[in-house]
Amino acid sequence: MARVRLSVAERREELLRAAVEQIEARGAAAVRIADVASALGVSNALVLYHFSTKERLVAEAFAYAAEGDLAHLRKLLGRRTTALRRLRSAVRWYAPTGSAKGWRLWIEGWAVSLREPALREVARDLDRRWKAALAEVIAEGVAAGEFRCPDPAGTALRLTALLDGLAVQLTSYDGAVPRSRVREWAEEALTRELGLAAEPSGGRER
C-alpha cells in the first residue's frame, strides 16, 4: 500500500511525534535516527533531511512536546472561572499524580540538557513560560481580592520546583512517596503560598 504524500509541515510533525515516542521508550541519550526512521518505515536520510542531526531532532522533539503541554496549560488557565479554581486545576494536572503525561520524557530532557546547549535552551524556555503563565494568574487573583501573594513569580517558582522534585521521586523511585501524600503536599503548598485558610478535604473549592 502506497504511503500518503504529506506536506513538509505534516512530515515534520509525524517525525517529531515518533521521536517523542522513541525518546520516552529508549531515553534521549540512547535514541538513534534509525529508531525514529524505523518506527515510521522511512529512511534515515529522510529524517536527516528535515533535522540534519540527532541533536537537533531531539531538541525539536522536546520543543514539540513542550508546546503541547503549554497549550493545555493555557487552556486550563484561560477558563472563565476564578483564579483560584484555575490554579488548582493547573496544579492538579501538572502534579505527578495528575493526568499530565511525559514526566519520564522531561526527566530525560533535564539530564541531557546538561550537556546539550540546544536542548538546554528548549528546557529553559519551557520553564520560563510555564512559570510566567502561573504568575500571571496568581497576579489576577491578587488583583481580584481572592487571596494574598506579595510575590507571584516567587510563588510560581516554588510551586513548580516542588512538583518537579516530587515527579523525580515518583518516576525514579517507585513507592518512595505515597501518591496520596503528593496530592496533599501540592494542595498544602498552594494554600500556604496564597495565604488561604486550610480546609477539610471535602470542603475545598473545586
- Tens of pLDDT, residue by residue over 66-79, are 888 889 999 999 99
Query: Are the C-beta atoms of 32 and 57 separated by less than 8 Å?
Result: no
Own/partner pairs, 38-47, CB within 8 angstroms, 24+ separation = 40/14, 40/15, 41/3, 46/11, 47/15
Own/partner pairs, 19-22, CB within 8 angstroms, 24+ separation = 19/57, 19/58, 19/60, 19/61, 19/64, 20/61, 20/62, 20/64, 20/65, 20/102, 20/105
**174 pLDDT exceeds 80?**
no
- Tens of pLDDT, residue by residue over 89-140, are 999 888 876 555 577 788 888 888 888 888 888 888 888 999 999 999 999 9
pLDDT of residue 151: 96
Q: What is the mean pLDDT of residues 7-17?
A: 92
Query: Are the C-beta atoms of 114 and 120 separated by less than 8 Å?
Result: yes
**Which region, left, alpha or beta, applies to residue 140 given φ > 0 means left and ψ of -120 to 50 means alpha?**
alpha
Provide the pLDDT confidence category of residue 205 given band limits of 50, 70 and 90: very low
Q: What would the grid cell of residue 77 be?
A: 488557565
